[in-house]
């Protein structure tokens, strides 16, 4: 019996027997697909994180720091109690000035909570507010905090 080679269309040797069971080819590897998926996920997550970080989450910190410096400036000059025997009776320290001092403290704390670069400002304004609340305006540490806070405010 003559057989025809299916691949070439020519006659095949009589010893040629066509195997009915061809060896199955291995399934295509999914490694490349998985690798590309993981790389895309990591790249997308990185871009999303970068955009979120730059989206203005920290935008309010500068405004809070500026507002804290303005409130501190509006407190005005603090009275000199170095010669007062009874500093609690010092005129000129009104409730309005105390509220501004507390506003400066809270605004600087809010700025420092969002952006750690404003932590020194918050620390110094807190020191000034403690001096003001205690009515010991001649406190050396409080005066140093006031000087430092004003220097930082000049740079903000």
- Which pLDDT band, with edges at 50, 70 and 90, does 38 fall under? confident
What secondary structure letter does DSSP report for 117?
A: G
Its pTM surpasses 0.75: no
Distance CA 39, CA 28 (A): 20
What secondary structure letter does DSSP report for 8?
A: T
Distance CA 148, CA 22 (A): 86
Task: Report the chain's mean pLDDT, rounded to a whole number.
Answer: 79
The string of pLDDT tens digits covering residues 72-100 is 999 888 776 666 555 555 555 778 888 89
- Top mean pLDDT of 46-55, 71-80, 145-154 is at 145-154
Q: 111 near 62, Cβ under 8 Å?
A: yes
């Amino acid at each position: 019996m003559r057989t025809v080679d299916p691949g070439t269309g020519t006659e095949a040797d009589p010893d040629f027997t066509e195997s009915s069971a061809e060896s199955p080819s291995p399934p295509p590897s999914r490694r490349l697909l998985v690798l590309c998926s993981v790389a895309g996920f990591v790249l997308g997550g990185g871009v999303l994180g970068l955009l979120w970080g730059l989206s203005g989450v920290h935008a309010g910190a500068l405004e809070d720091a500026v507002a804290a410096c303005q409130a501190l400036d509006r407190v005005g000059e603090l009275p000199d109690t170095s010669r007062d025997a009874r500093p609690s009776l010092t005129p000129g320290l009104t409730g309005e000035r105390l509220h501004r001092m507390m506003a400066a403290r809270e605004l600087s704390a809010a700025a420092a909570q969002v952006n750690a670069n404003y932590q020194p400002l918050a620390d110094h304004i807190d020191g000034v507010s403690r001096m003001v609340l205690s009515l010991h305006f001649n406190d050396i540490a409080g005066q140093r905090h006031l000087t430092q806070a004003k220097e930082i405010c000049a740079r903000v």
